[in-house]
Structure 1
């Protein structure tokens, strides 16, 4: 039983690492697309397509999950979706006032916020290896993303709210994913982000661009929408909701801290952006922090219950 549980944990961590790779790999695609379609409008279309895909799959192949559709599930999905939207919205807002490198570092601070929030909200105390791993990964994030400019501005404050949003999304996904069917819960949260993105696009952007064929069918926009809707949204958040029940929020945050590493790597390959020596060291430290947190602790003989807690 314990061996099977540990295999589930390893498979969950590997799946979450793949999600981080997908998010990092699509960063360049999104940057190119929002040059033609504004961010809220882009996310409105992206999350709407993802909601339609997942909803269709639910109705055709997983209709039995609908019997679990109730008020508690709807509220839980909406709450998760609101925090996910906050992450995307305030990151976008912050990028209007601060550099992408500082935004990347501050967003990555969710790796620190998750164990703190988990302790205060869920009473989950991170282990020693997790604390050390988080510290190493945070140093790596600094070296990877920060420039010589360290002065703070209002944009940095907005991005810090974004980090809080992503941290709370990780924590709440872990809390609710074991209580409700994964696909049904994912559909509700993705639909919530889609609706909120559309509302903010209507209020703050030229939303009509999103329904103009010459914009939507523009090569960079269309390819980015297809890839991000299917892989970086529908499949990624369904996988996160499905697998996060097998691991801890702190480990999820550490795994997701590799996203800027993959973003830097793909930017180097596809956009020919150069990596400084400090950025390369930062990438190594992030992976080192994640691996260190995964190392088994030296411990005395544990009971079955304690071994289960250690595994998850």
Structure 2
């Protein structure tokens, strides 16, 4: 139980970092195209993590085998797919609707965990997911509830993120957290680099206006170190002591931290509906926490179905 509480607390810290860096990323991609930014962010993070392991965790590097390469590639692929579907979806839908639909990963995770990990559906987790979803709707949605192709693309983004969380629940107990995170980050960077070459002008990276833009430099440094290398090592290390469903609920608080950061950093105001939405997201997370820690994490290897 103590390990679960610690794991949930660490994952909440990871979520805070992701939410707090949202303003930085938003400003940076006004200068650098999104796939290019993500490619540089993830590949730089992979390089930093590799160098760290070379000096402090070399034994873990020696343990990389074919199955670990595959597991890291699968995690990197679904993480990239989430970014890609969201990026294309935003071409056709609003940011508020995209934020809500992306948050629906909290609904998909329990059912994917039931199917892929044979983890039972817990009443408190389902209740928490429902409350958090209502909170996401209040925080993100406006009166425009029409559905278009962009919404469907962002829905695929939510499913991709849900699959990434569930697969971490499968792979994390099997492998060293550093090596699994290293390969996941590396492959996500490679896939984003391919996306950049296909859909963007990657030469913009070498423009002086971009290279010396303080927002871009700070965003890349902070996101590469804290929001990528440290964050994904932490997820791989600590999610094994909790469940994918609880992880998804914790990750659903990201827009709350993003909204708070935007308020204090950029002066963006929240109306009453959005404040209530934030409170419901937090309440949904608490439902899962106060409901007990009897839902067991995936601690043993399971036969692969992917």
Specify the alignment match of 2:259 in structure 1: 264
Specify the alignment match of 1:169 in structure 2: 164
Specify the alignment match of 1:235 in structure 2: 230
| Aligned residues: CA RMSD | 1.6
Pairing partner for 1:293 from 273, 288, 291? 288
Specify the alignment match of 1:309 in structure 2: 296
Once residues 138 and 30 of structure 1 are traced to their aligned partners in structure 2, the CA distance between those partners, rounded to angstroms, is 24
Q: TM-score, normalised by structure 2?
A: 0.95
Q: Any idea what the Cα deviations from partners look like across 1:114-166, whole Å, max 9, x if unmatched? A: 00111122211121111111111111111011011110111111111110110
Summarize the alignment of residues 134-173 of structure 1 with structure 2, pairs less than 5 Å apart.
134-173=129-168
Distance 1:262 1:80, change over 3 A: same
Pairing partner for 1:189 from 184, 188, 193? 184
Aligned residues of 2:19 and 2:254 also touching (Cα < 8 A) = yes
Specify the alignment match of 2:6 in structure 1: 11
Once residues 47 and 8 of structure 1 are traced to their aligned partners in structure 2, the CA distance between those partners, rounded to angstroms, is 29
Q: CA deviation at 1:310?
A: 8.5
Q: TM-score, normalised by structure 1?
A: 0.93
Once residues 235 and 254 of structure 2 are traced to their aligned partners in structure 1, the CA distance between those partners, rounded to angstroms, is 14
Distance 1:146 1:158, change over 3 A: same
Specify the alignment match of 1:303 in structure 2: none
Once residues 58 and 30 of structure 2 are traced to their aligned partners in structure 1, the CA distance between those partners, rounded to angstroms, is 39
Specify the alignment match of 1:124 in structure 2: 119
Question: Any stretches of 5+ residues in structure 1 without a counterpart?
Answer: 1-5, 298-305
Q: CA deviation at 1:311?
A: 11
Structure 2 residue 61 is the aligned partner of structure 1 residue 66:
yes
Distance 1:35 1:308, change over 3 A: closer
- Show structure 1 runs of 4+ deviating over 3 A: 306-312
Distance 1:307 1:223, change over 3 A: closer
Distance 1:53 1:289, change over 3 A: same
Aligned residues of 2:16 and 2:257 also touching (Cα < 8 A) = yes
Aligned residues of 2:46 and 2:229 also touching (Cα < 8 A) = yes
Distance 1:286 1:172, change over 3 A: same
Once residues 68 and 212 of structure 1 are traced to their aligned partners in structure 2, the CA distance between those partners, rounded to angstroms, is 40
Aligned residues of 2:243 and 2:295 also touching (Cα < 8 A) = no
Deviates more, 1:116-125 or 1:211-220: 211-220
Specify the alignment match of 2:302 in structure 1: none
Specify the alignment match of 2:215 in structure 1: 220
Aligned residues of 2:28 and 2:215 also touching (Cα < 8 A) = yes
Specify the alignment match of 2:101 in structure 1: 106
Once residues 61 and 224 of structure 2 are traced to their aligned partners in structure 1, the CA distance between those partners, rounded to angstroms, is 23
Aligned residues of 2:75 and 2:167 also touching (Cα < 8 A) = yes
Q: CA deviation at 1:294?
A: 1.0
Aligned residues of 1:133 and 1:288 also touching (Cα < 8 A) = yes
Q: CA deviation at 1:309?
A: 3.3
Distance 1:278 1:307, change over 3 A: closer
Once residues 218 and 295 of structure 2 are traced to their aligned partners in structure 1, the CA distance between those partners, rounded to angstroms, is 43
Pairing partner for 1:31 from 18, 26, 32? 26
